[in-house]
Structure 1
């Protein structure tokens, strides 16, 4: 393509071609609807034109430069105006922001058919076309600011006359695009999760597309917007953008087809060397130092920094990615990935995760085609230099020890440590590892993620507790898996999983049997012929049972702090039928009962929920009911783990179980202290310090550890609150 010559007096006009104009409307139709300020404009006086000309300004049509009665022509210098330009109020003052002091006015700039809000400071903007600026905006040293007449601001939509091939999609969870979704402003991780699942359900998938397309106006002619008090400086290309209030953008190479959400209470900052294309950025985000992001959504209070590459991916709230590369991935809230040599591709990671240096998770180079996937429950933690193969699936809080795992994995036991025993060519699984050997790190996560959740409106409940319906259900699965593995090891002739499970359960209950005398193998874990061996089997099994009982007892105690046992009986125990433990699904960080999720999807299919706002309202409604659903799950869990019928549950039995929960709470506190104390007692940990005094100065005294003290205080409060069950 080559440049075309056109008359100078047409520059700034004809933004919307006639065939795309609404009947009876001119090219300023949408521009007038987008106004950020309410001003009464007038044309320039002859004196004002004379002053502007004397100050080195030029316009081929001064009659189309409109101003307010508070216009100061002296504060417009060495600038050029084309098309209809409207300038808001001015005064003899300057704007001061972080050591940048700029006089209000327009200096050394080219302005094409734009609206300049009141009290703006615009300096050295070499070209700005079809923009609307709010109040007290600062623009300094910018090469190019322009808008296409079919601008979409990062949303996956088509404007009139657009080719279908230009539709922006996020190709998530799979590199072949088979799980692609259409991005839109306001999109939540829950929306994306639902959309990327159920791909065989053509009606549901078509509903998602219809709802998204209906959300937007397909007509051309919307201007880019920079809202009140936003500062943009020392940047190159700003094109097709919608930027909220109070944002701070400095030194970017390119912002193109992007929405930047920002408000004073949660302002977004974008820094040096960034190139962001086809994306949507949430409130309170931080993006700086060479970030490259293409086809992406970054949710509120998340960060991209230090050269991170985020491509075809969705990063949910309160997450951080720095240095590394992430492709085609859907990441739930509280994801952490900090190291330059980690790689994440074609993955669904369900939050509260931490990617170590050297981890290559989801690389399709070890598969036949670019169509593999990784699915990891929350708390996923691949260790240093871990390489995984498609397709693989991991239960919540799986820790993977350094190694190249050359075969697909299906880890169904939560809180486990998975290691590659190279010498014996086998996989080793230590069940309930986190509770047995690293309680400090595990339980610290509960408070850490809550404190990092900076959302001002928490109308969608994100579950951060390590013990919740999803992980407890997985723990029940682990009990069943271990029982079958033990039964099969000792009675291979039985040949039936149910019989193996029953025999294994009896063996695990018999403390006189030493399970170390046999190699206990877990089937269906790795797609290979080598063994997957369980270690610390009875310890892990009993720990699962203990944490399940603890979860149930603490939830019941919380209920009985407010209600009596008689109310428990009337509201729950007197219901007919057996109380079933419900399944829960992690839907973008929010746990939803599977029957409720099925109802939600059915309402979308039927068209009853026809807007994303209505779907979001259902998330919020389910969030408001979550604690009740969690309690009902805990009650069913209590009956199941203790093998009780509802009629057998008495206040005395509950008192006993709650007393046992006190002992478990004490055990948790003791393990938290013990696992942290290792860093003060192990000679290999302490050898880098001259003495104990230097160690305590560098890492702090163990006795002063805030988390340990907090946990001890919680234990003491929990113990003091045990007063016995009120029968009526």
Structure 2
């Protein structure tokens, strides 16, 4: 009748794996014995069985209830056992976590073919089936907790006898599934990006899938695991979930087909009303207060809070999403999205990003098909109630003002403020806005991302500096465009020598408040684009490149105990001009091509090997940055770097470092001096008591210390030899 099947009660707890899926000579427990060794248990004595029965316990066969010593049968009450149950040491102790105190033992629970670790407290677990529990864990008020014979624990694999239709894919970056990837335990944001990006490389796609499948057994019969020191209480349903050490789960509604990684040093917590299905959760993660996630990966130290919804998406390390909805997206590390009515779909957001309230990024209802995408490089900030149309792309550190952007846009001027002037019907851009007007936020963001990186296990070293090879390469491209636009404004018929024309005009005092340029390549419309303060943008970009070069040279000389001759000897010919942000780590494009070749040639045969290849670049990154800095400087000054130009850079670097410190202070000081900010306070003392004095600002103190260190480094490393 209906979907309910009947079978002999004596089979409950047995035949976990159908005989057709068992290797010859193996029984249903052979994988279980691999997960937890067979030895160390004994049968119950007759006296122990009598005591267990008097304590209200039942079993279909007491011979299949095995125990370890010491075993106190008085600590097992009102339980029902089916199948092979193995119970570890039980001693008269109590376990405590926060205000929950439970005596060790098994109470008021049904336990089916499971292994119970030493001194575990199991209270009121209505249905516990095919689990291996490690020592000193606490299970309290759980309705059901079971493992199926074909459990995958969130990994994108299929078991013996299953078809491809039963494989779990995660459809990131695009709603039509064209960039789908297989989730797996230990997956990094970088893995997801490479897999989703290079779709035209069929062999690479095949190898990624092969590597993932080879990492896991297709055999049926794996038991779910609960690690040491876990606390699981007041939870409704747990099915096919591997739970790492020291995980804390309270009040969850449904947890299904998951791997929850957790360690004593970096515990994961899952809270009230949470529903998580088909996912991988990294160490140190948090999911609280009614969040829903389906087909997802949460990177290490990431959080879902306050009703957030994460579907077909990868949330990168050190990120937080709350009160909003994210679908079909790949989100790099250090992403923040906190507000109830923001929406992000079909996007690749490359980290150090923030999505404000009311932002609707990528609703495909504005397109003819659900195959659009948004790509936002690191540092992307979308303002309040911002809407964007597919397809759109944004350069590093793009700041969008509150607006309804009706057309697809392509912003490749980094550090720009972008707005849609509805009254004038035009897009408006201020290049290098962050550097010129909001240095406090730019510098503080880099600092806070480092401070918030609480990963216990560091899979990759992330680049948090806003000036790095990826953003500087964008600056060089942006400078070429600015030179062309200025030259075309000064000499409308100019077709080449744009830089020379622009620099000559600037030297002669050309400095317009704005210029109108064609929207070609910038916006999918026929209207003009207003480029504000283009000459100041040129100057700002040049300062940024010089500051990047200065810091890179200092880092290189400090790391290699080198002098200025070491900088001059760096080979800047044939340098990679292409850099790629892969999951928060910046790589030369040539390295990525080499990595792809090594994967396809079977040299890299596991994800661990691929991750080791990522880490191999850590040792050369300072060198690579310095080489690229030399190249970038030569592009800026228009000639090969010389000793004299290094001395000139040092002189300018002193001024730039002091300017950065001053702009940090001044951009924050505006908040303190704003008369409208003061109107809610009766006096300065009340304001200082509420928000603190600018003189007590920790980051400003940090900024001053960084400036002084930079000045000290310049003085000690850029030594000029004066002649009489």
Same fold? TM cut 0.5: yes
Task: Quote the offset at 1:457 in angstroms.
Answer: 3.9
Residue of structure 1 in register with 2:639 after alignment: 644
Residue of structure 2 in register with 1:455 after alignment: 455
Residue of structure 2 in register with 1:506 after alignment: 504
Task: Quote the offset at 1:96 in angstroms.
Answer: 1.0
Within 5 A, what are the aligned runs for 1:376-395? 376-395=376-395
Q: Distance in 2 between matches of 1:621 and 1:421?
A: 47
Gap regions ≥5 residues in structure 1: none
Residue of structure 1 in register with 2:167 after alignment: 167
CA contact (8 A) 2:650 2:718 kept: no
Answer yes or no: is 1:441 the counterpart of 2:441: yes
Deviations 1:184-224 (A, max 9, x none): 00110111110001111111111111111111100100011
Answer yes or no: is 1:535 the counterpart of 2:527: no
Answer yes or no: is 1:634 the counterpart of 2:634: no
Task: Quote the offset at 1:499 in angstroms.
Answer: 4.4
Task: Quote the offset at 1:484 in angstroms.
Answer: 1.4
Task: Quote the offset at 1:679 in angstroms.
Answer: 0.9
SS of equivalent residue, structure 1 residue 515? coil
Residue of structure 2 in register with 1:593 after alignment: 588
Question: RMSD of the TM alignment (CA)?
Answer: 1.6
Task: Quote the offset at 1:559 in angstroms.
Answer: 3.0
Within the candidate set 589, 609, 613, 1:614 is matched to 609
Q: Distance in 2 between matches of 1:516 and 1:251?
A: 59
Residue of structure 2 in register with 1:278 after alignment: 278
CA contact (8 A) 1:320 1:336 kept: yes
Task: Quote the offset at 1:616 in angstroms.
Answer: 0.8
Task: Quote the offset at 1:623 in angstroms.
Answer: 2.1
After TM superposition, the structure 1 stretch with the greater mean CA deviation from structure 2, 513-522 or 337-346, is 513-522
Residue of structure 2 in register with 1:244 after alignment: 244
Within the candidate set 505, 512, 515, 1:515 is matched to 512
Closer, same or farther in 2 for the Cα pair 1:459/1:323, shift >3 Å? closer
Deviations 1:570-604 (A, max 9, x none): x42xx5x8354532100110100011111111111
Deviations 1:405-461 (A, max 9, x none): 010000000000000101000000001000111110111011100111112343522
Residue of structure 2 in register with 1:666 after alignment: 658
Task: Quote the offset at 1:123 in angstroms.
Answer: 0.4
Q: Distance in 2 between matches of 1:628 and 1:119?
A: 53
CA contact (8 A) 1:39 1:88 kept: no
CA contact (8 A) 1:557 1:658 kept: no
Task: Quote the offset at 1:727 in angstroms.
Answer: 8.5
Task: Quote the offset at 1:680 in angstroms.
Answer: 1.3
Within 5 A, what are the aligned runs for 1:653-692? 653-692=645-684
Q: Distance in 1 between matches of 2:204 and 2:255?
A: 34
CA contact (8 A) 1:556 1:634 kept: yes
Query: What's the TM-score, normalizing by structure 2?
Result: 0.97
Residue of structure 2 in register with 1:22 after alignment: 23
Q: Distance in 1 between matches of 2:202 and 2:143?
A: 46
Deviations 1:261-311 (A, max 9, x none): 001000000000000000000001111100100000001111001001000
Q: Distance in 2 between matches of 1:318 and 1:220?
A: 35
Query: What's the TM-score, normalizing by structure 1?
Result: 0.96
Residue of structure 2 in register with 1:718 after alignment: 710
CA contact (8 A) 2:515 2:530 kept: no
CA contact (8 A) 2:43 2:66 kept: yes
Within 5 A, what are the aligned runs for 1:473-484? 473-484=473-484
Within 5 A, what are the aligned runs for 1:316-331? 316-331=316-331
Q: Distance in 2 between matches of 1:713 and 1:517?
A: 37
CA contact (8 A) 2:70 2:91 kept: yes
Task: Quote the offset at 1:2 in angstroms.
Answer: 2.3
Residue of structure 1 in register with 2:264 after alignment: 264
Q: Distance in 2 between matches of 1:81 and 1:457?
A: 39
Within 5 A, what are the aligned runs for 1:109-258? 109-258=109-258
Q: Distance in 2 between matches of 1:309 and 1:700?
A: 36
CA contact (8 A) 2:120 2:137 kept: yes
CA contact (8 A) 2:511 2:535 kept: no
SS of equivalent residue, structure 2 residue 256? strand
CA contact (8 A) 1:522 1:534 kept: no
Closer, same or farther in 2 for the Cα pair 1:409/1:551, shift >3 Å? same
Answer yes or no: is 1:555 the counterpart of 2:552: yes
Q: Distance in 2 between matches of 1:566 and 1:385?
A: 52
